[in-house]
Amino acid sequence: MVAKNQFLFSIIVTTKNEEKNIASCLESIQFQTYPQGKIEIIVVDNNSVDRTKKIAKRYTDLVFNKGPERSKQRNFGILEKAHGEYLIYLDADMILSSTLVEKAVEKLEQENLIALYVPEIVLGDSFWSKARRFERSFYGGTVIDCVRVIRKDAFQKTGGFDLEMTGPEDWDFDKKIRNLGKVALVDQYNFEQINKNLRKINFNSQKWVAELTRLHRQALIYHNEIEFDFKKYLTKKVFYSKSFDVYRKKWGEDDPDVKKQFSLWYRYFKVFLENKKWQRLARHLFLFLGVFFLRFIVGVIFVYSRIEKQSTK
């Protein structure tokens, strides 16, 4: 049997004008407990006009240009450039905990899995960042989530991300992967403990990335929303919603996952209550009100965009 730390692991990062974030993302890879010689870093940029590519080249020679959207970037990086038996795809504003690669490979091998969900911790000290962190803590391994770590051969069998979608292509890909084999959540974490530990980090320090990657022993992805932009958040959600009809048509309105993903009851209530998660909600009712407000605004914008779309036909 091949030792778990002998597998080549590919990390694919898609970028577009991410000079503020790309260094933190790629720096976190340097602190992985998995052997550095067995990690391959691939950056696929989409015609950035800032210093993104220049910064990325400090960390890897495998920097490419591809567009116009992240699905094409991911497919190019994974299907045409990655050589690893296992891989993870990231956005530039993501930071890896130090044990992620090691724990992911170990779990995939020991449990004969083809893919893993990875808990995502939203960073930031503002109320909205905390609300987003709270919201995201309920999604791990649900139909709202998407696998992040994947066997390369399984990815190839799916054909990759659907180029006709931007936003729900994650859900679409997740469904295709689950149809091929077993998937699981790579690790569990305690929300209260995460919050407590994050208060130890001085995000103004030059060494904050190193401190953050080693802060928790769990396999985690940190999503850098330290500077949460409410307008940018809503704009992104509206943009993603434009592909919803393509996704729903592809899988059908009666598909059980589609029903949940577009169900007001599931998205606004049940996902926060199932599997005893209501206990966490009860401890943080104020944060839940923030989550509910964000979901409500996104829902209103989504309904408005659909009405507007119908009126232009």
Structural domains in the chain, CATH included, are: 4-228 (3.90.550.10)
User: What is the tens place of the pLDDT at every residue in 271-302?
Assistant: 999 999 999 999 999 999 999 999 888 888 77
User: What is the tens place of the pLDDT at every residue in 29-52?
Assistant: 999 999 999 999 999 999 999 999
Mean pLDDT of 123-142: 94
Q: Which pLDDT value is given to residue 303?
A: 76
Residue 4 has pLDDT above 90, yes or no: no
Q: What is the mean pLDDT of the chain?
A: 93
**At a CB cut-off of 8 Å and minimum separation 6, what does 181 contact?**
113, 114, 115, 154
Q: List beta partners, residue 185.
A: 117
Contact 136, 122 (CB under 8 A): yes
Residue 227 has pLDDT above 80, yes or no: no
How far apart, in whole angstroms, are the C-alpha atoms of residue 213 and residue 203? 12
Residue 311 has pLDDT above 70, yes or no: no
Mean pLDDT of 2-29: 91
**At a CB cut-off of 8 Å and minimum separation 6, what does 20 contact?**
none
This prediction's pTM:
0.94
Residue 305 has pLDDT above 90, yes or no: no
* More confident of the two residues 30 and 125: 30
